[in-house]
């Protein structure tokens, strides 16, 4: 039954991506904020599908920690859902994402329209300069810059492997508060594969880290905040999952 529900959810996920992508195509000719709202709607549709099909609740905590004005959103990265949460909690996010996504139907078109920040994951100094330049431009528009400091999706309970170059470059160049966002999403939605397990996905927006920390102070603080909160959420989520699975 779980496998069937998982396949039905994948059909829901990509079916609604196509439906929303087609219905909102005219938005590509309108101001960027209209397209952002279309993506926000799709993000909420994903949450509905998780609940109705997979018996997965989703909760977002700590919205009171979102600053007024631009900031750097630094998220724990377990799965695809993580990419859509910033559209729910901020009005105009600019996400640092891998360049290959621009070539996906619908997803790539909307990423281009909303001026996300595509990068070459090779991680050269040229890439860092491009990220910083693009981020500065987005911040001038009063946008939040979203980055996942681990650089790729990781499984719950795995050894963290943070990539400090990107987040440190943004911290130094932008002089903005950094808002860590913890999650336990990988318990229900794995980094790879189609299996979705019943449970409760929680995203917790943590208190901001003040601007101006140097790299040596920033990374231990950011990693400590994200890992401590995410591990706590994993414990909470595991208890809910055990109850739902019986």
The Cα–Cα gap between 64 and 204 comes to: 11
For 131-160, the pLDDT digits (tens) are 999 999 999 999 999 999 998 999 999 998
The Cα–Cα gap between 216 and 219 comes to: 6
SS3 at position 75 = strand
Q: How far apart are the first and last CA of the chain?
A: 14
Contact 32, 113 (CB under 8 A): yes
Treating both helix axes as pointing N-terminal to C-terminal, what angle do 32-54 and 2-23 enclose, rounded to 10 degrees? 160
Contact 82, 148 (CB under 8 A): yes
The single residue listed with the structure tokens 């105009």 is 92
For 116-136, the pLDDT digits (tens) are 999 876 656 777 898 999 999
- Whole-model pTM: value is 0.94
| Ordered structural domains, the chain, with CATH | 2-245 (3.40.1130.10)
The mean pLDDT value for 102-121 works out to 86
């Amino acid at each position: 039954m779980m496998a069937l529900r998982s396949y039905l959810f994948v059909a829901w996920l990509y079916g609604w991506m196509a439906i929303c992508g087609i219905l909102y195509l005219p938005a590509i000719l309108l101001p960027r904020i209209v397209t952002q709202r279309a993506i926000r709607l799709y993000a909420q549709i994903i949450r509905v599908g998780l609940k109705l099909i997979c018996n997965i609740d989703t909760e977002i905590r700590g919205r009171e920690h979102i600053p007024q004005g631009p900031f750097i959103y630094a998220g724990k990265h377990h799965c695809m859902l993580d990419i859509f949460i910033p559209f729910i909690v901020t009005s105009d996010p600019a996400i640092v994402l891998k360049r290959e996504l621009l070539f996906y139907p619908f997803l790539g078109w909307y990423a281009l329209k909303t001026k996300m920040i595509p990068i070459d994951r090779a991680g050269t100094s040229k890439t860092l300069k491009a990220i910083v330049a693009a981020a500065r431009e987005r911040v001038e528009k009063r946008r939040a810059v979203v980055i996942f400091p681990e650089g790729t999706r990781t499984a719950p309970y795995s050894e963290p492997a943070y990539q400090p170059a990107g987040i440190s470059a943004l911290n130094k160049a932008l002089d903005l508060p950094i808002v860590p966002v913890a999650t336990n999403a990988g318990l229900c939605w794995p980094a790879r594969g189609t299996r979705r397990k019943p449970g409760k996905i929680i995203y917790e927006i943590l208190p901001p880290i003040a601007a101006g920390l140097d790299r040596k102070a920033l990374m231990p603080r950011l990693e400590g905040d994200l890992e401590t909160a995410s591990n706590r959420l994993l414990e909470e989520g595991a208890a809910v999952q055990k109850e739902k699975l019986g």
